[in-house]
Structure 1
Amino acid sequence: IRDMVRYQPGVSVVADPGRFGLQGFSIRGLDGNRVGMVVDDVPLPKGFGVGSFSRAGRDLIDVEAIEQVEILRGPASTLWGSDALAGIVNYRTREPTDFLARGDGRGAFYGARAGYSGRDDSVLAGAGWAAESGPWQAMVSLARREGSESENSADDPRRHANPADTLRQSALLKLIRNAGALGRWRLTLDHSRSAVDTDVQSLVNGPGQFSSTTALITDDRARRTRISADGRIDTHLPWLDSLTVLAYGQNANTRQHAEQHRRPEGRTRFFSLRVRDFAYDEDARGFKLLGQQRGDWLGIAHWNVVGVEFAHTRYRDLRDGFETNLDTGVSSTTVIGERLPVRDFPNSTGNELGVFWQDEMRLGERLALIPALRWERYRLNAHPDATYRDDNPDGEPADIRESRLTARLGARWKINARSSVFVQYAEGFRAPPFGDVNVGFTIPAFNFVARPNPNLESETSKGFEAGWRYESPELRASLAVFNNRYHNLIESRANLGTDPESGALIFQSVNRDRARIRGIEGSLDVALETWSDALAGWRLRSAAAWTEGDDTRRNQPLNTVDPARLVLGIGYDSRNGRFGGELVGTGVQRKTDVDSSTAALFRSPGYGLLDLLAWWRPTDSVRINAGVFNLADRKHWDWASSRKLLADAPDLEFFTGAGRNASVTLYVEW
């Protein structure tokens, strides 16, 4: 995933090096569920976590199934709904035509691939098939990757990455029918699963509740299955040129198991084994209708896009476990004062209905105005059962009713056939999520209480962006400046201090933050033979981003904002299409603007990395890709993975990125 967004300015990957791995993306300083993630226009499941042992991430699609990634930066709620407060990551999976275009024109494609990555000692095996016969197209793509832990660059062996065994499998099947005047229809089955067994040595004798831990063994599994049907009909009606229809069903589940071995300590005066299990399920059903029409009215050319989309989603979680006294063999389902099993939120259903419109109006040859509106209604219904009520006897979980109208207005001025400038204003909103409205639990051993908050308000944003774009066969370049303001940002399970009546430390999600995030982004892709014939085949690529964010309520920096980054690559592809390569340099600025008001936090130093990539096609049917990453073996910290560390943390090296490593992949097609 990191390699796919290498040249995407303002975008980074968020990961937990300890146990849970890749969690999602950060776009312009916001991450988590504020970033919308979709695959073939179907929303990917949300992330959810509570405590130190339970976290369902969003790394639920295999890169082997992805053909392209499109990223929209900044508030995108008008077209994509309330999950797109920070932006959208849109995956497009492979199509039969992607394979058939590489074939010999006989209407069939067969392919196999095998690879190795030194970053995690993983081995890849995959196969693909595609065929075309008359109006029918079909494809199958299968992949399996098995490996170990992602390495870091720690010098101290005690801070090496936690030993792990990893397995990821995926299957993508598509059947397409070109029905002439009745449209083009596609049926998709998309399945992926992962399993990670980890020896979490980094938390042995660790901080807080891990101070008496002698071993922590975990088994984490995730699975996602999507079935979707979509099609497009060219209607040729006076008021409608085409209609696109999408219907889908998607199921995702996470199962996590942890076995914590402990020695005697103050609260537990015996050797013990604590077993914890976490289950999280998200089931979604939805549809989307999209109509397009082009025409001229009053001398103005219009391109109207109107749409309706609906999603019904069920959310469920359960934490269970027990503690065994290893001296007596007696087990109890009460762990650190919690009587298990518990639900951290009641079984819930969410209904989202969105209606949107966009019109691209061309006023003459140069000017285009692009207004857009979206009305969205969000309903969250809680369905508490006995398990939830036993742990939350006080109060009734809340239902949420929220409606919002968001707008976007853009303008584009065409300087010439290749160059244009643009400016846009965009609004965004995010309804209070299930993970904040009704989350409640009590941990008596630590005297912690997490309370629901039915009075949460929606997060909102207003953003301005202006920029310049240039595109030709030889050169693509862009430059953008943006300034986004966010209101009522939800701080999940904020520390509200001690309850004067019970003496418990209270945690509750609250609308607290007002933020401003601004920055500059640019990208460049140029064929150097434009300047000299002697440079034929050479290409220069670059992407840069500088972002600044502030919590304007407290006048403190936003710690979610990444430091400035510059990526510069120079590559060569032979004219005969047989070989090529690229040398890529990445420079990251030292993180200086850090909110250390509650504790002195680690500030990641600046660093520079060099990667060397190469490919070779010895025959028309064989291709080999290879790469050596972090050529200079530089020790470095990625801010997104280390921003919560204390400045004097003894395990800083554990959070370093990978040292020098290599990968190679073999593709065979016939």
Structure 2
Amino acid sequence: MREISWAICLACGAAFAANAQTSAHIVAQASVLKEVVVSGSRNEQSPDDLPMTIDVINAADIEEGQIHDIRDAAKNIPNVSVRRAPARLGVVQGDTGREGNAGFNIRRLDGNRVLMMVDGIRIPRSYAFGVNSFGRDSLSIDLVKRIEIVKGPASALYGSDGIAGLVNFITYEPADFLKEGKTIGGRTSISYSGDDKGLTVSGTVAARANEVLDLQLTMAHHKASELGNKGSNEGVGATRTAPNPQKDRGNALMAKAVVNPGGRQKHVITFEHVDKRSAYELLTARSVPLVAITSVRSAEALTTMDRNRMTWDARYKVDTAVADKLQTVLSYQDAESREYAFERRNGAADRARDTYYREKTLQASVQADKTVRTASSDWVQKFTYGLDHTNATITNIQYGITPAAGEAFPLKRFPDTRESSTALSVQDELTSGKWSITPGVRVDHFSIKASQDGFLAPAMSLSDSAVSPKAGVLYRATPEWSVFGNYASGFRAPNAGQINAFFQNNSGGFYRTIPNPNLKPEKSKNIEFGARGRFENLSLDAALFYGRFSDLIQDGVLVSGVFGSASNPAVIQSVNIDNVTISGFEIKGFMNWGKFAGGLVSTPFSYGETRGRVKNTGRPLDTIDPAKLSLGVKYETAGWDVRLDASHHSAKKFSDIGAQQIGTAPATTPQFAVPSATTLDLNGQWRLSKAVRINAGIVNLTDKKYWNWFDVRGVAANLAALDSYTQPGRHFNVSLVADF
């Protein structure tokens, strides 16, 4: 609780200082107040006008913080994290690190319960089966100018998969580079990241062909090595703690055409391509010593991601009786992930697995908004309503050599599946004086149709509907303070792999994974209360939240039988098993202390803490990360600035771990509970001119050895290779950015 006291004292002291000081309103504060987001209401709106918690990472944050991927993006956001375990995988055993940056955890739910989008278009979900696991990092930060994080259920606006929240990556447009009357402009940059020896080169060119047409082309190339850690054992085998050697390559391309045929319409046509490739030498998979014929002499792996998207986003000013503005979006996306692993054995046949997962998605929507004012009342109503349709074809297939007993390649872990969803949504924002009231509801109908072709088990289909209401209230108590309350419900439909997962081991292990056509959608109800303070020198946001989540789907549940029993083999399914409650609070902001020695001094701060419990068992929820406190000091002049950030990572108490024992009885061991740690980061920017900037930083300044809980969940406390899960030690980041 000591960290809570620090956060409360800091906020109270800052608020007192803000009222006592009368220094001029600085430019940084003004820029924050003018910021707009689109994810909270599907319209451009100031986050201060929304009755919900939204975190925004803008272009300056991305550049100065040297954010290279989603893991970096989550670093300083309270109650948000991204899992990235070390790559310690084998061909038919171990799923650790296969997914890379696995995806976001928001208020302590993760995976496909967090909706991820680029420009409002859904990106592929994660997929895991057995040892295969595909993450959600199929995007490039080099294309992104703003990241919007909505905390809490977002199903009333976006439907399934937003049960915990959403992350929307907004990409650049030509107008971002064609300011001050330019007809041609752009940006080039080169950056180096010391945690993985990553080098990124990117460039953007934008041009105004005429009054109607703007064009933009962005290209980026990235290469890197393995993510560093504090492990010192560079040998081979399971006790190795140094990272496995790894080579990463990635490319990104975005082309945009913005057509303005008249003042009453705008068309944005976007093509986006992202590909990523990682090649591993799996030294940890080697057998030591080489005694059995099945001992592994060498192993390597290759993972790839490719995503292509084409989107037509059209906006019209129609000024009719039913709509003032109209937006239509049509998008097609083709995304494929691949994992290949190969091992040479001492005397037995070599083994290989080549696994593909693919989503081809068509997304279409139409949205209208209408503002209504009445002479007899000072209430103003803004109606937003629309129709969304998504149609996705999801496939998987595995090739290889030396299959498991009873299987033959090629094979499918779930049947080819067509998932479709159609939804109607409506929202009414009522505003009068100091009050804003925003009710809304969305009705979704979804279906999952599975094909029997090439699938060994009976292919099951499913269809269902969900109603997702929400209601928010915002009260602007004074010019400085506003308070809000928000109720939101959410749901997540089961996916193709959960309904129809199939695997059969007829020798040795004697177990099988079978379909479950009776899965129900996951559901949630969430309440949030918050306050915002906007003073001359202080920005302060605080929120309390409580959520009830029911019918959560748990994969890989033993529903009958015994492992290793030929007469009573184990049966595994995905089932609705968990009912969970999650509660917590967070506080964030910054304090401007005024001028000192010719520069401005400010203090950014944030703190987040969450508690969760599985009602079925009474045990803690293991996706809950320990509390984290971040406190910084920034000194800024016209030509340069420097910032020192301290982050305190609280310990994970053993009593707060639900699955305290790892393994199968009687051979169980306690799970590792991470100790607390405090790290320091030093960053700065030198503005050589109006158009040229150098950003540099030292991360983990004191070279602290520490672990993140979200990377070590499920790891035994007595693991010999525990240091392989540590975070990178002290390293340097630097980038050069030039506008033209």
User: Under TM normalisation by the shorter chain, which class is it?
Assistant: over 0.9
Deviation at 1:472, TM superposition (A): 5.1
Match of 2:588 among 511, 523, 528: 523
Distance in 1 of aligned mates of 2:598 and 2:608:
28
The reply on whether 1:628 has 2:734 as its aligned counterpart is no
Cα 1:200–1:467 change in 2 (3 A) is: same
Structure 1 match to 2:630: 567
Match of 1:144 among 221, 228, 250: 221
Deviation at 1:627, TM superposition (A): 1.0
CA contact (8 A) 1:163 1:199 kept: yes
CA contact (8 A) 2:293 2:348 kept: no
3-state SS of 1:554 partner: coil
CA contact (8 A) 1:282 1:314 kept: yes
The reply on whether 1:185 has 2:250 as its aligned counterpart is no
CA contact (8 A) 2:474 2:482 kept: yes
Distance in 1 of aligned mates of 2:523 and 2:686:
49
Structure 2 match to 1:326: none
Structure 1 counterpart of 2:193, which letter? S
The reply on whether 1:156 has 2:239 as its aligned counterpart is no
CA-to-aligned-CA distance 1:553-577 (integer Å, 9 cap, x gap): 1000110111101111211221x2x
Match of 2:443 among 375, 378, 381: 375
Distance in 2 of aligned mates of 1:595 and 1:212:
35
Deviation at 1:596, TM superposition (A): 2.9
Deviation at 1:535, TM superposition (A): 7.7
Report which stretch shifted further, 468-477 or 149-158.
Answer: 468-477
The reply on whether 1:79 has 2:148 as its aligned counterpart is no
3-state SS of 1:524 partner: strand
Distance in 2 of aligned mates of 1:154 and 1:57:
24
Deviation at 1:79, TM superposition (A): 0.6
Deviation at 1:336, TM superposition (A): 4.5
Structure 2 counterpart of 1:622, which letter? V
CA contact (8 A) 1:493 1:508 kept: yes
CA contact (8 A) 1:6 1:567 kept: no
Structure 2 match to 1:495: 558
Deviation at 1:320, TM superposition (A): 1.4
- Counting only pairs closer than 5 Å after superposition, residues 55-94 of structure 1 correspond to structure 2 as 55-94=133-172
3-state SS of 1:276 partner: strand
The reply on whether 1:579 has 2:646 as its aligned counterpart is no
Structure 1 match to 2:602: 539
Structure 1 counterpart of 2:570, which letter? L
CA-to-aligned-CA distance 1:265-308 (integer Å, 9 cap, x gap): xxxxx333101100111000011111111122462211111111
- Counting only pairs closer than 5 Å after superposition, residues 19-58 of structure 1 correspond to structure 2 as 19-20=97-98, 21-52=100-131, 54-58=132-136
Deviation at 1:409, TM superposition (A): 1.1
3-state SS of 2:688 partner: strand
- Unaligned 5+ residue runs, structure 1? 264-269, 324-333
Distance in 2 of aligned mates of 1:223 and 1:154:
32
Structure 1 match to 2:421: 352
Structure 2 match to 1:4: 73
Distance in 1 of aligned mates of 2:557 and 2:336:
27
CA contact (8 A) 1:129 1:141 kept: yes
Match of 1:321 among 397, 400, 404: 400
Q: How many pairs were matched up?
A: 639
Cα 1:471–1:244 change in 2 (3 A) is: farther
3-state SS of 2:318 partner: strand
CA-to-aligned-CA distance 1:380-433 (integer Å, 9 cap, x gap): 000121x312xx2xxx32111110111111111111123211111111111121
CA contact (8 A) 2:489 2:525 kept: yes
Question: Percent of pairs identical after alignment?
Answer: 28
Deviation at 1:67, TM superposition (A): 0.8
Structure 1 match to 2:30: none
Match of 1:222 among 287, 305, 313: 305
Structure 1 match to 2:720: 650
Deviation at 1:335, TM superposition (A): 3.0
Deviation at 1:473, TM superposition (A): 6.2
CA contact (8 A) 2:373 2:381 kept: yes
Structure 2 counterpart of 1:489, which letter? L
Distance in 2 of aligned mates of 1:72 and 1:489:
21
- Counting only pairs closer than 5 Å after superposition, residues 86-235 of structure 1 correspond to structure 2 as 86-101=164-179, 105-132=181-208, 133-157=210-234, 158-205=240-287, 212-235=295-318
CA contact (8 A) 2:418 2:448 kept: yes
CA contact (8 A) 2:294 2:348 kept: no
Distance in 2 of aligned mates of 1:123 and 1:536:
32
Match of 2:350 among 251, 263, 273: 273
Distance in 2 of aligned mates of 1:344 and 1:190:
30
Which portions of structure 1, spanning 4 or more consecutive aligned residues, are displaced by more than 6 angstroms? none
CA contact (8 A) 1:436 1:493 kept: no
CA-to-aligned-CA distance 1:247-277 (integer Å, 9 cap, x gap): 10000001221102233xxxxxx33310110
Structure 1 counterpart of 2:372, which letter? G
Match of 1:484 among 531, 534, 547: 547
Match of 2:319 among 230, 233, 236: 236
Report which stretch shifted further, 286-295 or 449-458.
Answer: 286-295
CA contact (8 A) 1:112 1:668 kept: yes
Distance in 1 of aligned mates of 2:430 and 2:225:
53
Distance in 1 of aligned mates of 2:725 and 2:694:
32
The reply on whether 1:506 has 2:571 as its aligned counterpart is yes
CA contact (8 A) 1:142 1:171 kept: yes
3-state SS of 2:350 partner: strand
Deviation at 1:111, TM superposition (A): 2.6
Structure 2 match to 1:463: 526
The reply on whether 1:447 has 2:447 as its aligned counterpart is no
Cα 1:418–1:179 change in 2 (3 A) is: farther
Using the size of structure 2 for normalisation, the TM-score is: 0.84
CA-to-aligned-CA distance 1:300-321 (integer Å, 9 cap, x gap): 2111111111000000000111
3-state SS of 1:229 partner: strand
- Unaligned 5+ residue runs, structure 2? 1-69, 88-96, 235-239, 663-669
Cα 1:306–1:211 change in 2 (3 A) is: farther
Distance in 1 of aligned mates of 2:579 and 2:683:
43
Report which stretch shifted further, 503-512 or 26-35.
Answer: 503-512
Structure 1 counterpart of 2:443, which letter? W
Distance in 2 of aligned mates of 1:556 and 1:379:
34
Distance in 2 of aligned mates of 1:210 and 1:520:
55
CA contact (8 A) 1:205 1:211 kept: no
Distance in 1 of aligned mates of 2:148 and 2:232:
38
The reply on whether 1:388 has 2:455 as its aligned counterpart is yes
Report which stretch shifted further, 193-202 or 162-171.
Answer: 193-202
Distance in 1 of aligned mates of 2:506 and 2:730:
46
CA contact (8 A) 2:560 2:571 kept: yes
CA contact (8 A) 1:547 1:564 kept: yes
- Counting only pairs closer than 5 Å after superposition, residues 236-275 of structure 1 correspond to structure 2 as 236-263=319-346, 270-275=347-352
Distance in 2 of aligned mates of 1:501 and 1:625:
62
Structure 2 counterpart of 1:145, which letter? H
Structure 1 counterpart of 2:455, which letter? Y
Structure 2 match to 1:266: none
Deviation at 1:481, TM superposition (A): 0.5
